[in-house]
Structure 1
């Protein structure tokens, strides 16, 4: 079959049935190493002159199924699974940029990403220029001869700013740099950045792809369309003695980026995804479409419920009628805007804290994309390392509450929100 739809890809792509056992499920290859045929075979693997497995820090058969399946869901050519979403971002960026070079990033980002870009990457000599993602002129003005990528999130965390991926890709390509998109909040079920011109996609597979809050992981997907022949990317096109005096473009063609990421930083940094976690993520992919559909239904219902609640001051969910991003939702997220959104309640910061302290069904944890409904106060947790100015730039206000709506019965979710809102109002009344 030459064409498969999303749900079928998520169940079948990447697996070749084991010829000995005929196992229907993908086997878990819990192994560190692999037997070489002879010394020549071993040498050829290490120089990328032959395909196969040499050590599970570099590649593993279970991981390979997960990588191929996720790449197919994103319409990419290849993937590389790593130990976390943060590792995926770091390896992707450092594969593109070296000391003395720069990245342009939209500022509506997850707090950990913002800190990585503002604090850690400068220690490696890489400068990140933050821009307002909705101001395309500002984005373009920030690009210079040192720029090696433009970075954004499909749905900003927790601002929910929807990236105009096609416009950002056009700007990036006009300057011969790739667009890197974090698609964690959307998943490939809701949005495929590569189809709108993005070149590289990253995921925290910990979230919706795993889906059950059990496993840490990340992934990088190569779109295979970027021309690495630009002078900015000499390390892609110059001969490399480690791979037989060939360039990565010569050795891997359209998969040059992901091959370089895996062979260099994947090998040297050792941010390896365990085969067991890859196996769990394969299970997650198999139910991704079903879960995400229900996540969206539940989130929409909760957002509409909170809009009508007299103790709620505001709700930020992209598909609400008053949201000014509806045109971007229609273009990039036609199946829905995910299950994560934010809101504020009357009484401000103290009321927000009281609300979170009084939920019973919802879990107060630093995660999203779980089958269970989750809540957190970003200003004091995920974005607490940012200055007040940086928090505002990334869309975080002091009283903002972030919800990740799960798969519980919708009435049970509403009932828990109602009782927590009432207790929060009472608590603020006592404080006053």
Structure 2
């Protein structure tokens, strides 16, 4: 805060969580490459292990570099706190870990990253959890999918791969009515384009690997807690609202209030699951976030221009970019993503599966990789890669049909990218 006024996004993306190092005065957040931390005395150690004092014990739990990153992400998302972890997939598991138990389920959008669908539909079974997949444009179907064992609703702000925008306000209203949290994956939008907590989300998850870092160097994940959910309103969430045996009966919600989920994520989630983000990766991500707003503006400007050009190409059957006037999601852009519809979308080619694979192979500036959100423009054919493990019906529901190519538009010169697309489509 400055003179009582909230700091702007561009200021927070540089300064949030980044005070000068008290030992050296270093202005950039140092990489604290250490495993453990010396206690002042026995009482200090006992207080830390008993959650009676906040501090550093062991880097599986907390680390100053990683902590600075969590503070910055929480500030940008408008959350009460954040827990950073090793990947976006780890963030999803850690977000659900305090909420779930054998026999419990979540209601999830059909329009999700293919790896997420596999994690939810296959890996969850090993925990005794399950997921019901629903078209989130059908609000009645979402309501009907919720039962007494449902513990969360999960969706993406801008769905990967199709770039579809979710009506977060409508879904949040359903979650509130059922007394369960809404978890929103904000990876493809970033807090610059959308802050899901302002639309009713309880928890926000990120794959920091993508736009937040922006340079394709490290993997990372984060869970941001809104601090607004009443975990004690029902008996559905005993991990947060009931005594915790591992901490001599401590009640996380009663003790930590709005910070309950964040403290649980560190004291239980990172302690027992060990999905720790390393400090060097946190450092890279902190540096990447410093230019997030500028990069996202360029990503969006390029995507709008390229999507419009592709829509008029003879070889193209359709473009799913929500920023196009032809998109059925165009009315959600000013409501959910007022600064733009992101830079991820799909293109349907008239030549089908074979045409897609040839098109990808002929591109030169676009890199054929299993990633998105890089400064470089990226391309992939989901049906043969990221969504290969799904049935064709699941692929179509997820927006990854066999005739579909996913583009992640970078920050290069848009005309150069169009020229590359043009030569590849002609070839």
Aligned equivalents of 1:121, 1:345: Cα separation in 2: 34
CA deviations on 1:350-371 (whole Å, 9 max, x unpaired) are 1111100111111000000000
CA deviations on 1:19-39 (whole Å, 9 max, x unpaired) are 332111111111111001112
Q: Pick which of 38-47 and 3-12 moved more.
A: 38-47
Aligned equivalents of 2:374, 2:342: Cα separation in 1: 12
Residue of 222, 228, 231 corresponding to 1:228: 231
Runs (5+) with no aligned partner, structure 1: 424-432
Look up the match of 1:347: 351
2:62 pairs with 1:59 = yes
Look up the match of 1:416: 420
Residue of 268, 276, 283 corresponding to 1:279: 283
Give matches, 1:284-363, under 5 Å.
Answer: 284-363=288-367
TM-aligned CA distance change 1:387 to 1:303, over 3 Å:
same
Q: What's the CA shift for 1:328?
A: 1.1
Q: Pick which of 261-270 and 328-337 moved more.
A: 261-270
Aligned equivalents of 2:380, 2:157: Cα separation in 1: 21
Q: What's the CA shift for 1:43?
A: 1.6
Give matches, 1:13-24, under 5 Å.
Answer: 13-24=16-27
On the 8 A contact 2:227/2:258 being kept in 1, the answer is: yes
On the 8 A contact 2:164/2:321 being kept in 1, the answer is: no
The list of structure 1 runs, each at least 4 consecutive aligned residues, that deviate by more than 6 angstroms after superposition, is: none
Look up the match of 1:87: 90
Look up the match of 2:370: 366
On the 8 A contact 1:49/1:243 being kept in 2, the answer is: no
Look up the match of 2:73: 70
2:242 pairs with 1:238 = yes
Aligned equivalents of 1:237, 1:93: Cα separation in 2: 15
Runs (5+) with no aligned partner, structure 2: none
On the 8 A contact 1:47/1:242 being kept in 2, the answer is: no
Q: What's the CA shift for 1:145?
A: 1.0
Q: What's the CA shift for 1:251?
A: 2.5
On the 8 A contact 2:315/2:349 being kept in 1, the answer is: yes
2:296 pairs with 1:270 = no
Q: What's the CA shift for 1:411?
A: 1.4
Q: Pick which of 208-217 and 383-392 moved more.
A: 383-392
Aligned equivalents of 1:283, 1:235: Cα separation in 2: 35
Aligned equivalents of 2:330, 2:136: Cα separation in 1: 16
Q: What's the CA shift for 1:310?
A: 1.8
TM-score, normalising length: structure 2: 0.97
Q: What's the CA shift for 1:44?
A: 1.4
Residue of 388, 392, 398 corresponding to 1:388: 392
Aligned equivalents of 2:185, 2:359: Cα separation in 1: 30
On the 8 A contact 2:299/2:342 being kept in 1, the answer is: yes
Q: What's the CA shift for 1:326?
A: 1.4
Give matches, 1:145-224, under 5 Å.
Answer: 145-224=148-227
Secondary structure of 1:95 counterpart:
coil
Q: Pick which of 219-228 and 258-267 moved more.
A: 258-267
Secondary structure of 2:103 counterpart:
coil
Secondary structure of 2:223 counterpart:
strand
Aligned equivalents of 1:268, 1:74: Cα separation in 2: 26
2:135 pairs with 1:132 = yes
2:37 pairs with 1:34 = yes
Aligned equivalents of 1:318, 1:386: Cα separation in 2: 24
Q: What's the CA shift for 1:112?
A: 0.5
Secondary structure of 2:370 counterpart:
coil
Aligned equivalents of 1:5, 1:295: Cα separation in 2: 20
Secondary structure of 2:37 counterpart:
coil
Aligned equivalents of 2:141, 2:315: Cα separation in 1: 38
Q: What's the CA shift for 1:267?
A: 1.1
TM-score, normalising length: structure 1: 0.96
Aligned-residue CA RMSD (Å): 1.0
Residue of 261, 280, 287 corresponding to 2:265: 261
Aligned equivalents of 2:269, 2:85: Cα separation in 1: 11
Aligned equivalents of 2:312, 2:45: Cα separation in 1: 65
Give matches, 1:393-412, under 5 Å.
Answer: 393-412=397-416
Aligned residues between the structures: 423
Aligned equivalents of 1:156, 1:20: Cα separation in 2: 44
Q: What's the CA shift for 1:54?
A: 0.3
